[in-house]
Chain A
Amino acid sequence: AQSVAQPEDQVNVAEGNPLTVKCTYSVSGNPYLFWYVQYPNRGLQFLLKYITGDNLVKGSYGFEAEFNKSQTSFHLKKPSALVSDSALYFCAVRAMDSNYQLIWGAGTKLIIKP
């Protein structure tokens, strides 16, 4: 079965430290991978996506993600966390044989402490 896993319900990071939010997937074929962010009481906002090409993708607000085909992972990273990065982060994958619908991870709550 096709799936997306975000193994950590919550990640705590001190402000100024690097952060990583993990995502692994299991789909057939070449996936399209996405990260979205949800701030409190708001809808989701697009951060970045991997379609093809360079495995390191840069997105909004200084975030980047690395596609690793052998490990089927697409971890979200930022070199220096800000308190304002505190939010709920969702990984999603669009598989070619799922009528192109998105498969979503359960979300990871990121807390950045001053």
Chain B
Amino acid sequence: NAGVTQTPKFQVLKTGQSMTLQCAQDMNHEYMSWYRQDPGMGLRLIHYSVGAGITDQGEVPNGYNVSRSTTEDFPLRLLSAAPSQTSVYFCASSYGQGGSGANVLTFGAGSRLTVL
């Protein structure tokens, strides 16, 4: 049982480059989300999805795109990387569509991105 798998673990980009952070879960969770973690700021929600074909913006969506073609996968795309996107990115999933309120998130191990 792998849980939530994120790749790559580390990535260095130059300003203006694009890349995709991969996230896959094998728990048949409906809800998936992407967060970024910056020192002293906790976690900030970038995008989330409540099921295949359904995505929505979180608190800090600018510069990022997502899609959800399958229940298992939820990739995060950086369109044109900027130094302000240097961060640690976490994918998280849960049962339900997030609407029940009590669902617990399962997190991936994180992807550390540096933009030069």
Q: Which A residues are within 8 Å of any B CB, using their own CB?
A: 4, 9, 32, 34, 36, 41-46, 49, 51, 90, 92, 94, 96, 99-102, 104-107
Q: Is B41 an interface residue (CB 8 A)?
A: yes
Partner-A contacts on B (CB < 8 A):
4, 40-45, 48, 58, 90, 92, 98-102, 104-110
Q: Closest Cβ of chain A: how far from B33's Cβ, in Å? A: 8
CA distance A104 to B109 in the complex (A): 18
Contact between A94 and B105, CB atoms less than 8 A apart: no
B99 touches A106 (CB 8 A): no
Are the C-beta atoms of B101 and A43 separated by less than 8 Å? no
B99–chain A nearest beta-carbon distance, Å:
5
A41 to B109, CA, bound (A): 7
Q: Are A104 and B42 in contact (CB under 8 A)?
A: yes
| B58:A101 contact, CB within 8 angstroms | yes
- Residue in B closest to A47 when the chains form the complex, CB atoms: B104
Task: Give the distance in Å from the alpha carbon of A34 to the alpha carbon of B102 in the complex.
Answer: 9
Interfacial chain A residues near B4, Cβ < 8 Å: 43
With A32-B101, A101-B48 known to touch, is A90 a contact of B109 (CB < 8 Å)?
no
Selected A-B contacts with CB under 8 Å, 19 pairs: A9-B40, A36-B107, A42-B109, A43-B4, A43-B110, A44-B43, A46-B105, A51-B101, A51-B102, A90-B42, A90-B43, A92-B43, A96-B101, A100-B100, A101-B45, A101-B48, A102-B45, A104-B44, A107-B42
* Chain B residues, CB < 8 A from A94: 101-102
Q: Are B98 and A100 neighbours in the complex by a CB distance under 8 Å?
A: yes
Known: A46-B104, A105-B42. 10 other contacts (CB 8 A): A32-B101, A43-B4, A43-B108, A43-B109, A49-B102, A100-B98, A100-B101, A101-B98, A102-B45, A104-B42
